[in-house]
Amino acid sequence: MTDSLQKQILSLLPSENLKKEITNKSWHFSDRDLLAIAWHYAPDFDARVALLRLLEQQTEGDLKAYIRRIIETQRQMLAEFKSSDARSVFELHIQETPDSYDERYLCSSFEAALKMIPLFYQEYDSAKETDRSRYEITKRRVFSGGDGEPFAEDELGSLTLLPGARVYSVDVYSMSTKPEPCDGECLHCALPCVSAHEILFPCFTKNGDAVRYTDLSGAISYGVVLQEDERPCADCYLIPLDSDVMYYHDFENVHDAHQHIPAPLVEPIAPEELPERMKKDFEAFRSYDLR
């Protein structure tokens, strides 16, 4: 694989501190690691498929065939999700910000759901699309009640849109079921394996660090890292600063609130960068015996 493609893929990692540590330690990633990074951190569906095509061109053997299957499955999923008939509806969820109310609308087709989004903003002048706006579309099966029609779960798949109606991801559940047995590394499941592949990153945090972390919605959270050593890791073990154990200084039970956040989403920050309401809780916890 060329150095330029590796750099392009690693540039997708959100954490600047992690990227610096990768460079400082000349950290090595396997082709399988780079595939998983491209899968998880590409900015949208089209960019993800484009990167997978580049990876396919620069890999060989089983991995090359595996990447080709992923691309084809993604193409088929998008087409299948967009297709409509009399027995399916599309449930559109609109959130202009991560904290906004989840507005929901039933639409007869994927195209109708897309048309509803600008109509929503026209109807509600106070609502504005921002870079943190997200749209989730759930495709559902309609039960007609006909004689002999069997029971079936109604949720067929989901698709996430970014601002400007850019497709971020799509999943048609009947096409992404993991066969048994599967160890997550078999290169035969198309989607589940790349999603489950564990990527180890160099340690770039210290015990007691204040951190900021985000998710797809753009929601920003803050926490305190707890770690025993500096071993390579896939995620960071941290305590959210907005948790009850922090608010009430219930530090004896702090581990009950822990979360495992993927390392690329975590950014160490100076305590002064924490929101005012969290600084005292953070300092109180740092004064406690960190365990």
Q: Exposure pattern of 226-260 as b/e (b: 16+ CB <10 Å)?
A: bbeeeeebebbbbbbbebebbeeeebeebeebbee
- Check residue 203 and give its pLDDT: 97
User: What pLDDT is recorded for position 177?
Assistant: 64
pLDDT, tens digit only, all 291 positions of the chain = 789 999 999 999 999 999 999 999 999 999 999 999 999 999 999 999 999 999 999 999 999 999 999 999 999 999 999 999 989 999 999 999 888 999 999 999 999 999 999 999 999 989 999 999 999 999 999 998 888 888 988 999 999 999 999 999 999 998 876 555 565 566 666 666 788 889 999 999 999 999 999 987 778 999 999 998 999 999 999 999 999 999 999 999 999 999 999 999 999 999 999 999 999 999 999 998 665
